[in-house]
């Protein structure tokens, strides 16, 4: 199997490089000033899918995902650091804020069955790494110290700036971002800060060759990806909003350091909407995994719901679609328990060519799910084996069975109705209800103590 992914820069599908059987991956991680919403998690799930697909094809993966706990400035909060702003709202130390939400991030990944990355470097613990890269950039004439003591990247030093996002330098207008206070200190309006002078800020600042200050956000990803992945990234993942300026700037910095194209494939996940609107904290339209759990829905149903859409298309998540995915998940888990009995627990690692080619072709998860629906209805005698083959990518824990707490309201109603029908000796009704329950994936048995299910 050769995995091909859509590369934002060349705008075409490219085979993933596997030098010496290992692919190096970098995924932009969370800014830990709040819980990750389901939109953020859709992007983290994308990295998991790529990593699972490569693992399935026998390739080893080294995945680095950074934790941004300093330096991510916000438009919403008038140019304040997101972590510091949240620390003053919650009235606790900024590092405590960062550790709290970092812990929640790992918990949420586990709830979605997203496998952990190999490394989770924190920005606040990688200051030296960033400073040494900034010093290198100054030495290479790609960066300079501005009149305010901050260090800026000289965008004109990057001849191919704009190739990733399509934003040409001469078309960029001053004031595009929230950098007006820096404008007089920079040589050119589109230059950006690599190291910011502390100014009035007293928390989360570090000494440096350029005075007390803190790192910019873009340099964080260049430093961590190149220093931790041996100066080259085979696959770089992030949400589509990061294409510009974050990744465009990261590419300029990284290429200036390595002298060549430092990232082979730039993969961008499209955005998730919720009930028709953009999911963002500022618009108050945010869905968390906890909200899903609070409705009695298995978070893996959310994973299934996200997989119903290709990562490259914008997706509108609704409660209705999450609930439908929950029904489907329980039905499949139930049927797999039945097939385990009917077909036996053969331990063959059979490959379904249709599923394999859907994976290879830029992770076409909707097509995989369509194929599973067809297998479910077919007369095949190895349904369980094929479902479990697909589950190595899907990660839906399809052999988990059905547990009491995961029964849907519909299943509970049908079980209750059947129990009443049996007490009232309405055997035809009881049989009809059994058929309906079996369609939902439950196995019903009648015992002297009443009906049981599994």
> Minimum distance between the CB of residue 193 and Zn ion, rounded to whole angstroms?
15
> Can you say whether residue 378 is alpha, beta or left, with left for phi > 0 and alpha for psi between -120 and 50 degrees?
beta
> Minimum distance between the CB of residue 450 and Zn ion, rounded to whole angstroms?
57
Residues 38, 109, 221, 368: which binds Zn ion (CB under 5 A)? Answer: 221
Upstream peptide bond of 245 is cis (omega within 30 degrees of 0):
yes
* Residue span binding ligand AMP (CB under 6 A) among the ranges 268-276, 364-372, 389-397, 418-426: 268-276
Q: Is 238 in the site for ligand AMP (CB under 6 A)?
A: yes
> Minimum distance between the CB of residue 178 and Zn ion, rounded to whole angstroms?
18
Q: Which residue is it, tokens 């873009």? A: 218
88: helix, strand or coil: helix
Tell me the site size for ligand AMP, rule CB under 6 A.
15
Pairing label, strands 272-274, 213-215? unpaired
Residue nearer to ligand AMP on the CB measure, 30 or 334: 30
> Minimum distance between the CB of residue 246 and Zn ion, rounded to whole angstroms?
6
Which does residue 221 bind out of ligand AMP, Zn ion, none, counting CB within 5 to 8 angstroms by kind?
Answer: Zn ion
Tell me the site size for Zn ion, rule CB under 5 A.
2
Asked if 35 contacts 108 with a C-beta cutoff of 8 angstroms, the reply is yes
Residues 40, 86, 124, 126: which binds ligand AMP (CB under 6 A)? Answer: 40
> Minimum distance between the CB of residue 365 and ligand AMP, rounded to whole angstroms?
15
Q: Is 223 in the site for Zn ion (CB under 5 A)?
A: no
Dihedral, 250, 253, 256, 260 alpha carbons, nearest 10: -10
Pairing label, strands 277-278, 315-317? unpaired
- Which helix or strand (DSSP H or E) is residue 447 part of? strand 444-447
Which does residue 241 bind out of ligand AMP, Zn ion, none, counting CB within 5 to 8 angstroms by kind?
Answer: ligand AMP
Q: Where are the beta strands (DSSP E) in 81-220?
A: 143-145, 151-153, 192-197, 213-215
Q: Is 279 in the site for ligand AMP (CB under 6 A)?
A: yes
148: helix, strand or coil: coil
Q: Which residue is it, tokens 């968390």? A: 288
Q: Is 221 in the site for ligand AMP (CB under 6 A)?
A: no
Other CB atoms within 10 A of residue 359 CB: 25
Closest residue by beta carbon to ligand AMP: 239
Residue nearer to ligand AMP on the CB measure, 29 or 441: 29
Q: Is 43 in the site for ligand AMP (CB under 6 A)?
A: yes
> Minimum distance between the CB of residue 68 and Zn ion, rounded to whole angstroms?
8
Residue nearer to ligand AMP on the CB measure, 6 or 387: 6
Dihedral, 202, 205, 206, 207 alpha carbons, nearest 10: -50
Q: Is 337 in the site for ligand AMP (CB under 6 A)?
A: no
Residues 162, 239, 395, 441: which binds ligand AMP (CB under 6 A)? Answer: 239
| CA 259 to each of CA 157, 161, 240, 251: distance values in angstroms, whole numbers, following the listed order | 12, 14, 26, 11
Residue nearer to ligand AMP on the CB measure, 311 or 387: 311
Closest by CA position to 221, among listed 100, 118, 129:
129
As a whole number of angstroms, the distance between CA 390 and CA 396 comes to: 9
* Residue span binding ligand AMP (CB under 6 A) among the ranges 3-11, 56-64, 207-215, 264-272: 264-272
Q: Is 197 in the site for Zn ion (CB under 5 A)?
A: no
> Minimum distance between the CB of residue 68 and ligand AMP, rounded to whole angstroms?
6
Q: Is 354 in the site for ligand AMP (CB under 6 A)?
A: no
Asked if 178 contacts 75 with a C-beta cutoff of 8 angstroms, the reply is yes
Q: Is 263 in the site for ligand AMP (CB under 6 A)?
A: no
Residues 79, 80, 163, 241: which binds ligand AMP (CB under 6 A)? Answer: 241
| CA 74 to each of CA 28, 82, 97, 101, 383: distance values in angstroms, whole numbers, following the listed order | 17, 6, 16, 17, 50
Residue nearer to Zn ion on the CB measure, 161 or 339: 161
- Which helix or strand (DSSP H or E) is residue 444 part of? strand 444-447
Residues 9, 14, 42, 335: which binds ligand AMP (CB under 6 A)? Answer: 42
As a whole number of angstroms, the distance between CA 8 and CA 68 comes to: 23
What angle, rounded to 10 degrees, do the helices at 409-423 and 427-439 form? Answer: 160
Q: Is 28 in the site for Zn ion (CB under 5 A)?
A: yes
Which does residue 271 bind out of ligand AMP, Zn ion, none, counting CB within 5 to 8 angstroms by kind?
Answer: ligand AMP
As a whole number of angstroms, the distance between CA 238 and CA 270 comes to: 9
In the range 15-34, which residues lie near ligand AMP by CB under 6 A?
28, 30-31
The site for ligand AMP (CB under 6 A) is made up of 28, 30-31, 39-40, 42-43, 238-239, 241-242, 269, 271-272, 279
Binding site for Zn ion (CB under 5 A): 28, 221
């Amino acid at each position: 199997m050769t995995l091909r992914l859509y590369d934002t820069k060349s705008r075409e599908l490219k085979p993933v490089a596997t030098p010496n059987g290992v692919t190096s991956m970098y995924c932009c991680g969370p800014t830990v000033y709040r819980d990750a919403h389901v939109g953020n998690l859709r992007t983290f799930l994308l990295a998991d899918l790529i990593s699972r697909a490569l693992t399935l094809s026998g390739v080893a993966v080294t995945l680095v995902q950074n934790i941004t706990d300093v330096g991510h400035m916000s438009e919403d909060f008038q140019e304040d650091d997101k972590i510091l702003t949240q620390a003053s709202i919650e009235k606790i130390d900024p590092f405590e804020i960062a550790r709290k939400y970092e812990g929640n991030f790992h918990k949420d990944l586990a709830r979605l069955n997203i496998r952990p990355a190999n490394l989770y470097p924190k920005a606040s613990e990688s200051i030296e790494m960033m400073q040494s890269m900034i010093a290198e950039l100054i030495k290479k004439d790609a960066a300079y110290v501005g009149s305010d003591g901050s260090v800026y990247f000289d965008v004109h030093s990057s001849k191919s700036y704009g190739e990733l996002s399509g934003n040409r330098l001469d078309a960029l207008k001053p004031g595009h971002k929230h950098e007006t206070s820096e404008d007089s200190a920079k040589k050119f309006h589109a230059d950006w800060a690599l190291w910011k002078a502390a100014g009035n800020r007293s928390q989360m600042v570090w000494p440096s060759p350029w005075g007390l200050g803190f790192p910019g956000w873009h340099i964080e990803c260049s430093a961590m990806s190149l220093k931790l992945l041996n100066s080259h990234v085979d696959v770089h993942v992030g949400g589509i909003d990061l294409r510009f300026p974050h990744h465009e700037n990261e590419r300029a910095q990284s290429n200036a350091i390595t002298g060549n194209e430092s990232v082979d494939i730039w993969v961008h996940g499209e955005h998730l909407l919720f009930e028709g609107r953009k999911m963002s904290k500022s618009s108050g339209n945010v869905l968390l995994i906890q909200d899903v759990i609070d409705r009695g829905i298995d978070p893996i149903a959310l994973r299934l719901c996200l997989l119903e859409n290709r990562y490259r298309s914008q997706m509108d998540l609704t409660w209705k679609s999450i609930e439908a995915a929950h029904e489907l998940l329980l039905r499949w888990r139930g049927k797999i328990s039945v097939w385990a009995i009917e077909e036996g627990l053969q331990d063959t690692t059979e490959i379904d060519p249709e599923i394999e080619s859907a994976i290879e072709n830029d992770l076409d998860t909707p097509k995989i799910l369509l194929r599973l629906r067809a297998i479910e209805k077919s007369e095949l005698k190895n349904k369980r084996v094929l479902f479990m083959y697909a589950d190595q990518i899907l990660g839906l824990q399809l052999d988990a069975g059905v547990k009491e707490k995961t029964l849907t309201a519909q299943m509970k109603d049908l079980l209750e109705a059947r129990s009443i029908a049996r007490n009232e000796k309405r055997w035809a009704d009881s049989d009809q209800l059994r058929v309906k329950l079996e369609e939902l994936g439950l196995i019903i048995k009648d015992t002297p103590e009443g009906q049981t299910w599994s």
